Chains A and B, each alone.
Chain A
Amino acid sequence: MNPDAPQSKFNIAASSHWRDGSSLPGIQLTWLLALLPAIAAGMFYFGFAGLRVVALAVVASVVAEMVWNALVPNRDFASNYSCVTFGVLLAFLLPVGASWWLVVIGSVLTVIIGKKLYGGWGAYPVHPVALGYAVLAVSWPSRLDYTESLVGQAWSVTMVEPMRLVKTLGASAQVDFNLVDLFLGRQVGGVGNALVLWLLLGGLFLMLVREIPWQIPAGGILGVVACAALLGLVAADRSVGPVFHLLAGSTVLMIFFLAPEHTTSPVNPWPMFLYGLLMGTLLVLIRTFSVHVDGAIFAVLLTNFCSPLLDRITPSVVGREVQDVA
């Protein structure tokens, strides 16, 4: 730099000079807006017990984020609200009556191990919430039992997690569940992961405002439906129908909120579709053949690792061939 160079009184920057009005906090606020219907429905179904878990998780996440930022300077600021969204998403996966320490540990794991250790939003290889929940699930599996928390509920539905009953009694157990009940969220589940209709509303909103691309949910739904339909042909005794898979457990949360997370999903059109397809397929396979009851989290973790690989399928660069000749 030349110290004698004249200082300009104008603002200087490279083009483009217009921006489309989006921002990082804007993205996370859109996601939180999309999660609101499910939070509200959770309050309606479970009262303040559900809200308690959400609030606890959010507070713990934000505190963890701010403490880390105070100790380790980095470029991922608490002001982008990513820790709030992750707190809410983690709370959705936890039981309504989760112990406070479980929520706090889960939130801290999500924010610190899942996100901050890698450098923050934009740098982690797998969804922090999936990672945080997975650690809880292998550390305290009995503490994450959904049924126990809902003992007091006066619902006229089968009070067992749908996928658990199907896993223990075989595919024939699906007749114990009414699909409409499942759709409205009247099923045994966590604070928000099984509130199908309300999550779907939020997910459609995200797609409508182009916050998430349509390819990932479309691929996810197609993956679940196709894989469940195929399994219905070859292993009818243990496999339930596609609609049941879509409505039971965390499928909708996974397809609309966990899969399209920006950092861990591919960005090109075909890879996004394949990513969704792979995740949906894995979900049904894990549910049908593994010991895990709801495979959503593990499907997310496994597919996240594939996304850089999938993203190598790129549309060809226009003008590239001419360049090489020239």
Chain B
Amino acid sequence: MSILDVLKPPGSRVPVPVGCALEIVDLPAPDQVLIPLEYPGQILFRPLVQAGDEVACNQVIGRSEHGNFIHASISGKVVELKTMWAARSFHVPAVVIEKNDTPPLVGDELLRQCDIDPQSATRVDLLRAAGVVSPWTTPGHNDSEVDIEDYPEIIQIVIKGVNQEPTICSFRLLLRTRTEEVQEALRRLAEIIPQARILLAVSKAEAEWASESFSDLAEVVPLSNDFRGRIERQYVGRLTGIKVPNNASYRSGGVAVISVEQLLDMYDALEGRPCIRKTVTLSSSRDFQPVTVRTVVGTSIGDLLASQNLVVEDGDRVIMGGPMTGTAQFTLETPLSKFQAGVHVLKAKDIVADTNLICVNCGRCTRACPVNLQVHLIGRCVEFDQFDEAQLYHPTACIECGLCAFVCPAHRPLLQMVKMAVNFRG
């Protein structure tokens, strides 16, 4: 943070993103992967393999009730099926695979293993067979997988070309390094959904370059460098003019929101490549130049950090995601899933511990809140177990951006308190 930041309102003091190296490092597959059989809190997969099975890379290992699939990201032997805590602290089943030299599945095999006839396969079949989850197949937090069929037609598509978290630059780099594929993917998207308006949100620094490259394929929208301008729920609502409840899928408003990475995954799926790789930015609060790597889904955080010589010591905080909304991990065994775009290590020296100090009613949280919640009151209600009272302040509208806790001078865990108000109601 610069010294001049004190002149800004507290809610605008989130450090702006630093420049990333303009390349994505491809990592070799690790010796062992742990693949969680779920999309966070949404779709649960039934395992199709058991301990002792030999699997090939790209082989389907899990199937959901509704016909979505999850793939082995390396070839090898299934060592065990176990339960684990996923990155966002859901308890889920998972498959452990140890690497061997079996050749990967390719071509029509990919479709046949999903009971799809290669001759008559539709585009949705191709996407499903490749394990791509959006935007046609992702339900909202409160919806079941089946609800997808009742969603209205897609009229607007927002493509995230910039990450919300300041430490993560994977979307930006994908846009830069795979420009031609993105262009081709946008063309395909316009073919598949001709009626939709396509918006591409990019960072302000790249607005000029992006509008040169993509202006004939999508409306290029620059987002400010300020964290407030990059909060996804905020800018999607602003750009599309459609407000979707925070606990529901964008799809219920006819809006599809996907990242550049998911767009490229869809493109790959149509080209017959399953979605088994993931781009993540590794960063640390000290002595480490942020680096963006591409690796297979299921790689543990420990392997990822070790590959870049990012040392984690006892007492550090390892965060899946970014520092504003990410989840602290209690073990380095947590695998990378398709939904985390970054790992941030907060060194012990830089940690500001949460406290249970009294709220002094300074109101910074409430004034920083992008959705105008009375955060200070919700926090106090929760502190004294008044969960019914807390409902009067509409905690369900929270978009979990983390700004309230960021600005709190008493270092109260405010976001956690709002989440409790949501979860313990009634």
Binding site for B on A (CB under 8 A): 6, 8-24, 26-27, 75-76, 119-123, 208-210, 213, 262-269, 314-320, 322-323, 326
Asked if B363 and A268 sit within 8 Å, CB to CB, the answer is yes
Q: Could you list 29 examples of A-B contacts with CB < 8 Å?
A: A8-B331, A10-B329, A11-B317, A11-B328, A11-B346, A11-B348, A13-B354, A14-B419, A15-B326, A15-B402, A17-B324, A17-B344, A17-B346, A19-B405, A20-B1, A22-B364, A22-B409, A23-B411, A27-B409, A120-B358, A121-B358, A210-B9, A213-B367, A262-B360, A263-B361, A267-B376, A319-B397, A322-B244, A326-B247
The distance in angstroms between the C-alpha atoms of A19 and B15, with both chains bound, is: 10
Asked if B363 and A11 sit within 8 Å, CB to CB, the answer is no
Contacts A267-B366, A315-B372; A17 near B360 (Cβ below 8 A): no
Apart from A10-B312, A262-B360, A317-B393: 9 A-B pairs, beta carbons within 8 A: A10-B317, A24-B357, A121-B358, A210-B8, A267-B361, A317-B371, A317-B372, A317-B394, A323-B394
Please indicate the chain B residues that have their CB under 8 angstroms from the CB of A9 in the complex: 314-315
Q: Is the interface of B mostly helix, strand, loop or mixed?
A: loop
Closest beta carbon of chain B to A109's beta carbon, Å: 21
Of chain B, the residue at the smallest CB distance from A326 is B245
The distance in angstroms between the C-alpha atoms of A316 and B1, with both chains bound, is: 32
Of chain B, the residue at the smallest CB distance from A320 is B394
The distance in angstroms between the C-alpha atoms of A20 and B410, with both chains bound, is: 11
The answer to whether B56 has its CB under 8 Å from any CB of chain A is no
Binding site for A on B (CB under 8 A): 1, 6-10, 13-15, 237, 243-248, 312, 314-319, 321, 323-331, 344, 346, 348, 351-354, 356-364, 366-367, 370-374, 376, 393-394, 396-397, 399-400, 402-403, 405-411, 413, 415-416, 419
Q: Which of B247, B326, B373 contacts A17 (CB 8 A)?
A: B326
The distance in angstroms between the C-alpha atoms of A243 and B406, with both chains bound, is: 41
Asked if A11 and B372 sit within 8 Å, CB to CB, the answer is no
The distance in angstroms between the C-alpha atoms of A167 and B424, with both chains bound, is: 59
Asked if A17 and B317 sit within 8 Å, CB to CB, the answer is yes
Q: Which of B312, B327, B352, B371 contacts A15 (CB 8 A)?
A: B327
Asked if B367 and A208 sit within 8 Å, CB to CB, the answer is no
The distance in angstroms between the C-alpha atoms of A318 and B394, with both chains bound, is: 10
Q: Which of A8, A23, A119 contacts B358 (CB 8 A)?
A: A119
Q: Which of B6, B10, B374 contacts A314 (CB 8 A)?
A: B374
Closest beta carbon of chain A to B402's beta carbon, Å: 3
Asked if A16 and B325 sit within 8 Å, CB to CB, the answer is yes
Closest beta carbon of chain A to B65's beta carbon, Å: 24
The distance in angstroms between the C-alpha atoms of A56 and B364, with both chains bound, is: 33
Please indicate the chain B residues that have their CB under 8 angstroms from the CB of A262 in the complex: 360-363
Please indicate the chain B residues that have their CB under 8 angstroms from the CB of A13 in the complex: 317, 328, 351, 353-354, 413
The distance in angstroms between the C-alpha atoms of A262 and B376, with both chains bound, is: 12
Please indicate the chain B residues that have their CB under 8 angstroms from the CB of A22 in the complex: 10, 364, 407-409
Q: Which of B1, B15, B248 contacts A326 (CB 8 A)?
A: B248
Contacts A267-B362, A267-B363, A318-B397; A12 near B8 (Cβ below 8 A): no
Of chain A, the residue at the smallest CB distance from B345 is A10
Asked if A16 and B328 sit within 8 Å, CB to CB, the answer is no
The distance in angstroms between the C-alpha atoms of A100 and B364, with both chains bound, is: 38
Asked if B357 and A323 sit within 8 Å, CB to CB, the answer is no
The distance in angstroms between the C-alpha atoms of A122 and B9, with both chains bound, is: 21
Of chain A, the residue at the smallest CB distance from B376 is A267
Please indicate the chain B residues that have their CB under 8 angstroms from the CB of A8 in the complex: 330-331
Closest beta carbon of chain A to B421's beta carbon, Å: 13
Of chain A, the residue at the smallest CB distance from B252 is A326
The distance in angstroms between the C-alpha atoms of A10 and B327, with both chains bound, is: 13
The distance in angstroms between the C-alpha atoms of A217 and B396, with both chains bound, is: 34
Asked if A122 and B360 sit within 8 Å, CB to CB, the answer is yes
Closest 9 CB pairs of A and B: A267-B363, A16-B402, A8-B330, A122-B358, A122-B360, A14-B416, A318-B371, A22-B409, A262-B362
